[in-house]
Amino acid sequence: MRNDERFEIERAFDLLPHVVGSSWAVIWFRLNKIKKPTREEYRNKVLEYLKMMEPIFESYQGDEGFLEIVKYIHTRKQEEYEKIMSGLNKEVEKRYLRYIDYG
């Protein structure tokens, strides 16, 4: 698969963890008046909200012409999930620190 064929998916996975996952997680913690969640609690909540996007991640399945992009999406999704849980997603970690400081 060419780079230009997966460019938009790459950008989506660069942004979705912190734009969707972290944003929704922060709202949840604020509304539940949890000002100092642990990193693990925060990461779990981010992942919980990001996983709600699974139907979008699976939207190309079943179409023979999309086999390569489906495989790429699956691989990239798993990588992002692992990065979130291991603390290697720098944007999610930055959002956590911001919430702890200003929550």
CA distances (Å), 35 to each of 23, 74, 101, in order?
A: 15, 34, 9
- For the segment 57-62, the average pLDDT, to the nearest whole number, is 93
Torsion of CA 76, 77, 78, 82, to 10 degrees: 100
Of the pLDDT bands very low, low, confident and very high (cuts 50, 70, 90), residue 29 is very high
Structure confidence at residue 92 (pLDDT): 98
Residue 39 binned pLDDT confidence (cut-offs 50, 70, 90) = very high
pLDDT of 103 reads 67
Does pTM surpass 0.95? Answer: no
Residue given tokens 């200003």 in the structure block: 102
Confidence at residue 102, expressed as pLDDT on a 0 to 100 scale: 87
